[in-house]
Structure formats: C-alpha cells, structure tokens
Chain A
Amino acid sequence: MVKTFSASSSRLSRRQFLVNSAAAGGSLVLGFSLPVDGSAAAAAETFSPNAFIRVSRDGQVTLIMPYVEMGQGTYTSIPMLIAEELEVELGQIRLEHAPPDEKLYYNPLLGVQATGNSNAMRGAWKPLREAGAAARLMLIEAAAKRWGVDASSCHAKAGKVIHASGKTLSYGELVGDAARLTPPKAISLKTPDRFTLIGTSAKRLDLPGKVNGTALFGIDARPSGLKIATLAQSPVPGGRVKRVDDTAAKAIKGVRQIVRLDDAVAVVADHMGAAEKGLDALKIEWDDGSHAALTSEEVYRQLEQAVQGRGAVAQDVGGAEKAMASAAVRVTASYRLPFLAHATMEPMNCTAHVHDGVCELWLGTQAIARVQAAAAKTAGVPLEKVTVHNHLIGGGFGRRLETDGAVRAVQVAMQVDGPVKLIWTREEDIQHDLYRPSWVDRIEAGLDRDGRPLAWINRFAGSSVVARWLPPGFKDGIDPDSVDGAIDLSYAIPNVHVEYARVEPPGIQTGFWRSVGPSHNVFVTESFVDELAAAAKRDPLAYRRDLLAHNPKTRAVLDLAAEKSGWGTPLPQRWGRGVSLQKAFGSLLVQVAEVEVAKDGSVRVHRVVCAMDCGTVINPDTVEAQIQSGVMFGVTAALYGEITLNNGRVEQGNFDTYQMLRINEAPAIEVHLVSSTEPPGGMGEAGTSGIVPAIANAVFAATGKRLRQLPIDPALLKT
C-alpha cells in the first residue's frame, strides 16, 4: 500500500515538472529561478529543460536534488535515475541541493517538499527518469537539426549525441540550440533490459567527501562574522524562564552575549567551548508550568485508560466480536512501547542571520520549505525574504522533518548582530526531541480447533504525529501512519476489527521516527502472531506460512528467509530464532533473528537474515546498506531505547543514559533480495520495524518468556 497524503488540491501535476515555456536569448526561460551561478548572464549560458537538470556550455551537467541526502543514498540513486535516461555518466555530473520550492520539488507521495517515509525513490521513479529522457530527446533534436539529419538516426551516450555516421556533438555544444526547443510531449522510457545504470551497485557520489573531512553538514556552515551559541531550554515542556543570573557567564573569555527567550536562554560566544562554559555558569530559575509533575507512568495510565474504551475504527472485516465468541481458544495480550529519541549523530543546529528585513539560514533539513515558512513566521518577514542553504544531513531519521531547531536559531539571531550558529548540546538534543510516540495495545484473537485465527481485535492508543505535522492527513480519528502495519495484515484472518484512539501526551511533542507507524504496529502484530502460534503449539514460521496460502508473493519471501536462515536447524542452549514478516513502505520484508540470552538476562543478537521483495532494485549495494542500517537502528531500540519522564523532565541526557548499539554488539546481517521488475519499494526504514519483533520472538524461542514491553528488561530473562 502506498500512503498518500494530500495537503493541497492545487499541486502541480507531474507533467508540469517538464516546464514548457518560450525560448528567449539562447536559453530556456523557466517559470522559476534556479541558483544558476548567481547571475542572469550565466542563466543564458545553460540548458535547463526542467527543475532537475542544468547543462552549461562547458558541458557541465548539474542535477538539482529534490530529495535530501541523510545517509540513505538518494544523492546517488536519484542521479542514477536521471543519468540512465539523460545518457550521462555519474562521473560527469555535479549535484546541487534543491532550494525551497513546494511546487517544483514536492514529494508526490507526501504532497509537500520533504524527504521521509521511505518514499523518495517511489516518488522519483517515473518523473525523474522522464525528466532525464525529455532533456536527452531535446539534445538529440538539437543535434539532428544542426546536422540536417533525422533525429532517429542519432542517439546519445556519455554526454554526447552521436549520429549514425559517427560524428558527435557534446551536450555542452548543444546548449543554445536545445534551449530553443519545446520539451517533447511523448516520452517513452527505457525497458529494464536496456538499463545500464539502474540495478548496478554504482559507487556513492557523496562518499569521497565523507572520508576526508570535506563533506559539509549544516553544523559546518561558517558564514563570515559567525558567532557560536548554545542554549538551555526549559527542562519541563511549557515551562518559562523566571530569572537569569548571567554575571559569571558574561565574565568568561569569549562569551559575547546572553540571549533570553521566554522559554530558553542562549549564550553567544566566539566558539562553542566558551558558549558551553558560559551556559554552565548561568544560573537560571525556571517556572516549570503545568507539566511539572508529569511522569512516564502517567502517560501510560492515560493510554491504558484509552484502550479500555473505543477508538476510531481503522479496519472492520467480517464480524470479529461474534467470531470471537465462537472461538475454541482465546488469546489476549497487552503491549507497551516507550517514547524514543532520534539521537542523530549531528546534534540539532542551525545558523541564522537576520538583518534588514531578510533572514538567511544554513542547516541540514529534510523539509526545507517548512523551514523557510517557519523562519519567515518567526522573523516576521515575507517568505521570499528567507534564504535557506541546505546541507548534507548528519542523521535525519525524521528528526530533521521538524523546524524547531531553525526557529530557535532565528529567535536567537533576531537579537544578535551578525550570523549566529546555534548548536544544541547532546543533552538538549535528547531532552528536547519530538519523540516517537509511546503506545499501548490491547489485542485479542480467537482460534479455531486447529489453531487458525478466526477473529482478531486490536485496540491501541497513542499520539498521531500526522495530526500535528500534516493536519489534513488526520481524518475521522485516523491517519494512515498511525495504523500502518496494524491493518490489512498479510495473513488470512476472516474477522478483523482494529481501533485507534488518539491520545496526545500532556506537553510532550511527538515526531516521525525511523519506521514511523510500523515501528509500533509491526512489533505488536508480529509478536502477537507469534503468541498465536505458541497457543496453537505450532512452529511460528510454519504457522505464518499456512496463513499465507492465498498470498504466494509474500510466501516466497518467507520461504527464502527460512531457507537462508537455516530455520529449524539446532542452536545452542539459550539461543533462539525469531521471525517477523512485514508489508510496509511498498516492500515485503521477512527477518530472522538469532539471539542468545545470557544467564544474567542480557540479550545478544548474533545474526540477522533478511529476505526482501522491494520491487526494482535501483542500487543493490545501497539496499543492502539500508537494511544493515535499519537493523542496527532497530536492535538499538529493542535493547536500549527508552525516554522516560519524571517531574516533567526527560531522565536521559547523553549516550551514557540513552545508549546506542556499538560495534562490539553488532550482529552479522545477511540480505537476500527477490528479483522483481515492479516499481521500487521503500528501503530506508523497513529493516527497523521488522527486526524488533524478530528479536522478541527469538527471545521467546530461547527462554519461553514473552516480551510485551520494550526495551528488553534483562531482569525478566535472568535465570
């Protein structure tokens, strides 16, 4: 299922990407401005048939990236799509971050200019190949006209148009002529058998700079005259600054200014060392406000209360209540999931310069147009007076879909003369995140005499991120993300009833977190299917297989995982294998985890085998890397991930209290892909949501103990 959010009915159609406007002055004049080397004269020297491609007379091909690079490989995969049809080599191209422009660079699956939900390649697959093909056709036509030959006798390769006679013209030589042509109406794309780039493990274009220190992340921006700031935000959400004694802070060498906001205090200095020292020296008295007594238990209490009542119906098939009454065996369980922080390695930061009615920003963001809008609102300037320079992202995972970091920087910059880079300490980053929602599920199934599920009733409660982030996506008490992975299960279950109750935790903001809705729902549903297999006294993989008789495509992925993992072969004592099956982000994924539970209850994940059908594979090495990455992210959450609240304050602060998986704990990971010519599915998040229940199910296999709350508590597994 492809999730589609429609934020506006006035979005441009895909065809309108291919801007069709009159030629003038030797270049194609487009209905938007691109950052073309900064001058109008330079614009006349380029061929820019659409918002993604610019060819200059010296032959330089520049591709403008509508999706951001945060590690997932889009700055290689998107160029592969364009280059495949444009007929240029990856070594010939230069990349540029797209500027904020919701009309030109919106994500067709989200309806806004943002990179998230594992859908960049799904959104780009057709339009960006068409963008490349349109440009190629125009360059070929320009060459054919110059030569006075039929375009059908020409083809393009490696940045040149080649005639059947062997004569060639480079793209650079054709810029002026091509710019006078009208973009083609009919574009036929290559069939997969003619792909030369798509399907290859092309080397990533962003890596050379990432091994020699030259890659520029937002935190590396250094506009002239820069000051560095750090801040303390109210430790309790909604709290305010009551009193500040900044005498000692101001006396520190390098500290230039203390900026007081309603709910935060920032220290502006020559360098971060002085800013941090200044922050430590500040004496801030807070008015904690109405959430001063908030605890995690109170959040869970509200969620538990909500699942006792009714929610909005997300799916209703057959008659689950009635079927439940006739079941031979009934199984019920309750699950709990904690808040999780993103903990991107690059802490939140943004550089801002507000002056003379303009606002200029430097940062890495997954949602540049939102940042522009939020900055304009904060600074009180029109949208067009806000310039945003996007950068490589030092970890996104959903955190950089938010604008709070930019807003803070603008708030501080409004009081500072010159540009200021606001860097959050790790503690601020962890304690003022927008957390993956905490969830509570009450789930029940009725089995027939053979142990097959007759009825399935799932009621869960938690925050809707969509309702805040993209309000039109939340309708009639439901949003597509909160229920993703809880409805339309792959298994044959005749009677299904799923309800979702939106409960917003007091004061706590929630955000999209790698693997979003499925990070919750796949854990619950795949753990519970395992519980049903146990109740039916069946092998959990064979049990799932029986429920997939109607679904050969999914069954094939399960079978591949079974074969590659050696499912059923003996393991040492206190080791176990667990399986999970997931249909999310347009991809099918089955994961088998092999874990060992030590006598002290600690869990070690030794090996993870992944079988996946993600449609057409654009870059197999990137797919493997994303699965490896998603698995490590999920193992971290399963073993360690938990943000807790006490006295309204987040109790975790740095990597000592909010632990990350380290290399000595990393499992071996195998990735096996099913060959497919279907459109590509999403890859960036799937590995995270699937691995968590696979681990929990493996722990059950090893110990007989069912984990219904995360992170795993070793005390429960001790012998």
Chain B
Amino acid sequence: MAFTIEINGTKRSVDVDGDTPLLWVLRDVLGMTGTKFGCGMALCGACTVHLDGSAVRSCITSIDSIGESRITTIEAIAATPSGEHIQKAWLDHQVPQCGYCQSGQIMSAAALLNEKSKPSDAEIDDAMSGNICRCGTYVRIRNAIKAASQAQGKRG
C-alpha cells in the first residue's frame, strides 16, 4: 500500500508492504544510499537514522510505524546543529577508515548531542555501543564526540 513519510523535510510517497523496513525504502525505493545495511537485526547500528531527532535503527523500523514522525538521514544531518558539529569533529579527528559504518556512527553521535550536550564517557558508551566499527575507530569516535560537544557548547 502507499505510505507518505517525511524525510529530511520533504514528503515522499512509496508503495510497499507495511512491514518493509525503512532502510530499504530509503536505499532501494528512494535511492538514498548514505544509510547503510549491516546486519538487519539492529545489532550493528550502520542503518541509524533519526525519528524526531532520536536515533533509531532503520533496518527494524517498519514503514507503517512511522506515521507523522520526521525522518532525518545522513544526507541532511549537516543542517542540524549537532550534526554539523559532529561532522566537523569527524573530519578534524580523521575518524573514518573504510567509512561504511560512519553514517550510522554520526547519526548516533548527533542524537546523543541532541539529548546531552556534555556527555560523560559512560554516556558516550551507552549511546554508541550499539554501533559497530570493524575498522576500530572507537578511540577517535570518543575524542571527536567530546570535541563536538565542546564546540557546540561554545556556540551555545
């Protein structure tokens, strides 16, 4: 059946089964490939997007569960204050290696800063431990989140 969802500020209509994961609507139906497939079971976080500013795993988020919620993907995260700081910190700290998981890492980190402007190490662990990086960029992810938090704090 047809669903209309709001992605990055634009209404989009798709005709798929209601149980279709948002991930595949984004990637295969709408051609937005920045959001990645890693596990299909919410175990790795590569598919993380925001629903109303909070991180969700799009691989287990069915299209019929979204309703009026606003979806934000990596393609538009730069337009959010936390997203902009996170992306800049990611470049300053040269975080990505293969880069495949990094869309998800950035979305999780941006959601964290939306909720906690000065996250502690434990809060970073809590928010980021659902995102696997096989290249092991964890040390840099932690440092970049702290730098982004500081930069965001300065700007207020």
**Which A residues lie at the B interface, using CB under 8 A?**
70-73, 203-204, 206-217, 219-220, 222, 228, 252-254, 270-274, 276-277, 343-347, 392-397, 423, 425-426, 621, 625, 628-633, 636, 654-656, 660-664, 666, 668-669
Nearest 5 interchain pairs by C-beta: A213-B34, A632-B136, A394-B100, A210-B99, A71-B98
Within 8 Å CB of B133, what residues of A? 345, 632, 663
User: How far does the Cβ of A608 sit from chain B's closest Cβ, in whole Å?
Assistant: 10
**Which B residues lie at the A interface, using CB under 8 A?**
16-17, 19-21, 23-25, 27-29, 31-41, 43-44, 46, 73-75, 77-78, 87, 90-91, 94-103, 106, 124-126, 128-142
The verdict on A203 contacting B94 (CB below 8 Å), with A213-B33, A394-B99 known, is yes
Q: Which residue on A lies nearest to B100, using beta carbons?
A: A394
Within 8 Å CB of B125, what residues of A? 663-664
- CB pair B132–A655 under 8 Å, yes or no, is yes
The verdict on A631 contacting B136 (CB below 8 Å), with A253-B16, A663-B128 known, is yes
Would you call the interface of chain A mostly helix, strand, loop, or mixed? loop
User: How far does the Cβ of A602 sit from chain B's closest Cβ, in whole Å?
Assistant: 16
User: How far does the Cβ of A390 sit from chain B's closest Cβ, in whole Å?
Assistant: 14
Cα separation A228 to B29 with both chains bound (whole Å): 10
Cα separation A77 to B70 with both chains bound (whole Å): 41
Within 8 Å CB of A212, what residues of B? 34, 74-75, 77-78, 87
Cα separation A633 to B135 with both chains bound (whole Å): 7
User: How far does the Cβ of B127 sit from chain A's closest Cβ, in whole Å?
Assistant: 9
User: How far does the Cβ of B82 sit from chain A's closest Cβ, in whole Å?
Assistant: 14
Q: Which residue on B lies nearest to A226, using beta carbons?
A: B28
Cα separation A655 to B102 with both chains bound (whole Å): 17
Cα separation A394 to B20 with both chains bound (whole Å): 24
- CB pair A213–B35 under 8 Å, yes or no, is yes
Cα separation A277 to B77 with both chains bound (whole Å): 30
Could you list some 14 contacts between A and B, CB below 8 A? Answer: A209-B99, A213-B35, A217-B100, A253-B16, A254-B20, A271-B16, A273-B16, A344-B98, A345-B38, A425-B40, A625-B97, A663-B129, A666-B138, A666-B139
Within 8 Å CB of B17, what residues of A? 252-254, 273-274, 277
User: How far does the Cβ of B16 sit from chain A's closest Cβ, in whole Å?
Assistant: 7
Choose one: B31, B91, B134; the contact of A343 (CB below 8 Å). Answer: B134
Q: Which residue on A lies nearest to B46, using beta carbons?
A: A345
Q: Which residue on A lies nearest to B145, using beta carbons?
A: A663
Q: Which residue on A lies nearest to B88, using beta carbons?
A: A211
- CB pair B44–A655 under 8 Å, yes or no, is yes
- CB pair B38–A629 under 8 Å, yes or no, is no
- CB pair A206–B99 under 8 Å, yes or no, is yes
- CB pair A656–B41 under 8 Å, yes or no, is yes
Within 8 Å CB of A228, what residues of B? 24, 28
The verdict on A347 contacting B37 (CB below 8 Å), with A208-B91, A272-B24 known, is yes
- CB pair B37–A423 under 8 Å, yes or no, is yes
Within 8 Å CB of B29, what residues of A? 270-271
- CB pair B135–A395 under 8 Å, yes or no, is yes
Within 8 Å CB of A395, what residues of B? 98, 100, 134-135
User: How far does the Cβ of A207 sit from chain B's closest Cβ, in whole Å?
Assistant: 6
Cα separation A203 to B74 with both chains bound (whole Å): 22
Cα separation A656 to B101 with both chains bound (whole Å): 17
Within 8 Å CB of A662, what residues of B? 129-132, 138
Cα separation A274 to B142 with both chains bound (whole Å): 37
- CB pair A628–B139 under 8 Å, yes or no, is yes
- CB pair B97–A345 under 8 Å, yes or no, is no
Q: Which residue on B lies nearest to A76, using beta carbons?
A: B94
Within 8 Å CB of A253, what residues of B? 16-17
Cα separation A253 to B16 with both chains bound (whole Å): 7
- CB pair B136–A426 under 8 Å, yes or no, is no
- CB pair B36–A346 under 8 Å, yes or no, is yes
Q: Which residue on B lies nearest to A204, using beta carbons?
A: B94
Q: Which residue on A lies nearest to B125, using beta carbons?
A: A664
Q: Which residue on A lies nearest to B14, using beta carbons?
A: A271
User: How far does the Cβ of B113 sit from chain A's closest Cβ, in whole Å?
Assistant: 15
User: How far does the Cβ of A350 sit from chain B's closest Cβ, in whole Å?
Assistant: 14
Within 8 Å CB of A425, what residues of B? 40
- CB pair A214–B34 under 8 Å, yes or no, is yes
Cα separation A158 to B143 with both chains bound (whole Å): 33
Interface core residue of B32, B78, B136 (most chain A CB under 10 Å): B136
